Each structure stands twice: as structure tokens, then as C-alpha cells.
Amino acid sequence: MIRTRFAPSPTGYIHVGNIRTALFAYLLSRHDEGGSFILRIEDTDQKRFVDGAERAVLETLQWLGLDWDEGPQLSGAEIGDFGPYHQTERREYYQRWAEKLIAAGRAYADPYTPEEIQGFRDEAARNKKAFRYRDHRPNNPPEWNGTQPLRFKSEPKDYSWHDEIMGDSAGGRDAVDDFILIKSDGLPTYNFAHIIDDIEMKITHVIRGQEFIASMPNYLSLYEALGEAPPIYAHMPHILNETGNKKLGKRDGAKSVNEYRAGGYLREAMLNFLASMGWNDGTEQEIFSPTELVEKFTLSRVGRSSARFDEKRLLWLNGQWIKRIELDDLSERAADFWGEMGQKADPDYKKEVLSIVRDRLKTLADLPLLSEYFFSTPKVDWPMIDSDKQLKKLPRADQISLLKSAVEKLSKISLTDWTSENLQGKLNELLSLTDSKPAVLFSLIRFALTWAPFSPSLPETMILLGPDETLARLQSAIVAGK
């Protein structure tokens, strides 16, 4: 049974680069029937702790639908038999394993002050040599009383291992050092804690960013000292920022997943996009539903090179997903995105509006722009017409007279004949009657009706607006244009 984990630290928001790692770990566990996805909070860094960060992470995962079988819940409770799932509540485990290492002569108290160690480091730098703590290993370290850092007594040698993504890898003895197991504040370092937890929680596959590859010899060395077998590893290539010159990170403005959520992106699009960076199924399929992702995901098809974060592609995918999901579903998700007037409108009417504007939506955040004119009379905005490249060629007087003929024509349609087919026909008649090009006449009417940059087809718009409102809007355009 595959058991994977996602282990964020509550030091801030979770950005799109981090979440892809969570996604791949999730997919791997779900692809395996009976697999488990575990969420562990690595909160051992008290200095960088950010209040509320954990909740934000949980909400993000929940929104994306990356449900976990074990770990903390939004309610504050925890589920699973291998808890607790906060590292600060697992001190007894670290203590127990640390004592085991001490007894085996593989861990010792660090007698130096941070200043002294910095001195060693500076000296190494002056001599242009790599700094290694083990070169300064004390001969008779004091007994560990919990106030000094506890260090791993390494036995440097070369390591090679298999990585499910990176292939066969190797690291030399130079990378092995006496790293800190437990800090002077009594809490374990990541290097120690994650290994103990992975052992205790019976994690089978470790999926993480490739920045940890450099530490693999250290980890392997620790597993040996612990007498435990390491899990299967899969180190993922990084996602680079848009210019491709750096690992995507918060400092360079990597957005949080929540920003995309608030920006009107659908979880399906986000997941689809994230998966496409580094993974594909070998076919020419571009759109994958979350279910298909689970069905088709395998580590063997994850690439080794880093990818850039290209928002244009995400935007396209989002448009695709907005068109794909059920109207009722879309309607629920759009609930918070309606504009000022839209949110107060009748739900059924809103759903109708949504059904005709959805094809034009790139994100749900576009909704007000594309829908407010259905809920309230838009402000007449002739400059909009003046800046249209087709319409600006036509004198104002001609524009007005075109609108007048439109009013005349449309006002003859009775309420019962106010149908898509009829409107279409009348508009076409109007076209030959006024001897104008569709691009001119219909654009003009469209603007007069909506004063929006995009809108659904004329008949659709007119039906939703109704005859009275349609004619009234044309009239006010005429009046204001004079």
C-alpha cells in the first residue's frame, strides 16, 4: 500500500510551486487503490511561525480537492492512527530515537557557541575550503542535557540510490556532515524530524522538491545509523518563475493558490495546469479532469527538467473548464463573483445569464464585466463607440439614424414574437434595409444595449433583456448621442 505525505510548514501562504508537489503525492496515493495521503504539519521553526498559516494550507488543499486520509482537520481535530500530525506534538518520538542514537554512539552534544562555529566557517572560507562541522568534531563532547544542539555523528562514505524521477543518483562523502538533529530549543530540525516521522508513519514514497537531493547522503547515512530502510524517493524538478531564472518562490511574487481562487480560477483548471508542468500521459490530450489525473498518473511519466510558470496557459485552461463543467455546478461556484447588481438578482435569472455568457469567460472574475448590464441599465458611453475601429469611421448622425431604424423595426415585434428566430430575421431585414455591414450595424446595437467590451449574441441578449428594456436602451443611446 502506497503511503505518501505532504508536509508543509506553517510559515506563510502556500504557493503554486509547493502545491504541485502536494498534487503529485496525492495523485500517486490515489492512483494506487487503497493508498493513503497523509498531511503532516512541520511546525518546528518557531521563529518563522505564522499565525493562521496552517488553516490557510488546509483550506487550499480542501478547495483543490486534495483530501487527506490522515492529518489535522479544519475543525482542529486530527484523523488517522499515526498521529499526532504536528511535529511540535511529537517530541517524545524524536527524543526516543535521539536517545537511541546517543546510546549507539551516533549522536553527541555540540559544545560550541554559534559564534565559534561561525569562526570555523569564516576560517574555511578564508582558506577557500568547504566548511564541514565534522572537521571540528570535539573529542570529548559533554553529556547532552537538552540545552545544547544534538548532532549526528556521521560516518562519511559515498552513496548511490534510485530516484523514481531522477533515475540512478549518487552523492559523495563530502556531502555527509554532522548535521544538527535537535536544536537547542529542544525541537528537532527538519533533517531529523522528517525522517523519524516518515519511519513512524510508515511513509512508502517521499515526493518532494529537488532541493533536497543535495542532502540525500546525509539522510541515507542517518537511516543507516537508525537501522531503518529508507523509503522510495521521487524528487521533482522545480517550477521556475516566468522569466525562468529562478525557482518559483514567494520573494519573487509567486502567487498563493488562494489568489488564483479569488481571481476566479477553477480547481479543475489549476490541477490540470499544475499536472501539465512535468507530467503528461504520452498522448496528445491536453485537458484532464481530476479523475483522469488520478487514473493516469504515474511517476515514470514525470519529466526531469524544470518548467516555467506560464499564466497564459493557465488562463486558457480555465476558460476551457468554465465551458466544461455543469451549469448548476458553475452557477454555485460563481456565486461570489457576481457584480453589485448581479448578486442581488433572482437566482434563476442569474443562471440564465451565466448560461449565455460562460463561453466568453476566462475567469469567474470577468463575470461582472460581462453580466452587470443584464441586471441594471448600463451608463451610456459613446466614447466607447468612438474608439471602435469600425464604428468611428461612421459620422455620429449616421450612427444615430441606424439606431433609430433599429428601434422602428424592433418596436413592431409583438411580445409573443420576441423570439430568437424572429429577432434574427428582423435584424437581417434591417441589414438590407439600411444597406449596412453587419460589423457596423450589429456592433452599434450591441454597444447601445450593453456598453460592454464583450457580450453574447444580439438575439440572446435581447431575449433576456425583453422588448421594453431593449427599446428603452436604444432610445437612451439615441438621446445621449444627439
From 3-11, 22-30, 52-60, 392-400, span contacting RNA (CB under 7 A): 3-11
For RNA, what does the binding mask look like between residues 33 and 72, x meaning CB under 7 A?
Answer: ---------x-xx-xx------------------------
Give the 3-state secondary structure of residue 48.
Answer: coil
Half-sphere exposure of 351 (CA within 13 A, CB side): 10
Please answer whether residues 150 and 109 qualify as being in contact, where contact means their C-beta atoms are separated by less than 8 angstroms.
yes
In 79-180, which ranges are continuous DSSP H helix?
91-103, 114-126
For RNA, what does the binding mask look like between residues 281 and 310, x meaning CB under 7 A?
Answer: -x-x-x--------------x-xxxxxx-x
Catalytic residue among 250, 255, 404, 409: 250
The 8-class DSSP code of residue 389 comes to T
Residues numbered 79-138 forming contacts with RNA, rule: CB under 7 A: 110, 113-114, 117, 121, 128, 130-131
Q: Is 223 exposed, middle or buried (0-12, 13-18, 19+ CB in 10 A)?
A: middle
**247 among known catalytic residues:** no
Q: What is the largest CA-CA distance in the chain?
A: 103
Closer by beta carbon to RNA, 111 or else 466: 111
From 64-72, 100-108, 277-285, 291-299, span contacting RNA (CB under 7 A): 277-285
Rounded Cα gap, residues 321 and 268, in angstroms: 7
Rounded Cα gap, residues 313 and 305, in angstroms: 18
Pairing state of beta strands 205-209 and 232-236?
parallel
Sole binder of RNA in the list 109, 427, 465, 478 (CB under 7 A): 427
- Phi and psi at residue 152, to the nearest 5°: -80, 130
Contact between 251 and RNA (CB under 7 A)?
no
Residues numbered 154-173 forming contacts with RNA, rule: CB under 7 A: 166-167, 169-172
Closer by beta carbon to RNA, 34 or else 383: 383
Contact between 187 and RNA (CB under 7 A)?
yes
Contact between 183 and RNA (CB under 7 A)?
yes
Give the 3-state secondary structure of residue 41.
Answer: strand
Closer by beta carbon to RNA, 66 or else 182: 182
CB of 46 to RNA, least distance (A): 8
Please answer whether residues 210 and 238 qualify as being in contact, where contact means their C-beta atoms are separated by less than 8 angstroms.
yes
Closer by beta carbon to RNA, 302 or else 478: 302
Sole binder of RNA in the list 76, 127, 145, 312 (CB under 7 A): 312
Rounded Cα gap, residues 147 and 433, in angstroms: 93
Closer by beta carbon to RNA, 28 or else 236: 236
Please list the active-site residues. Answer: 250
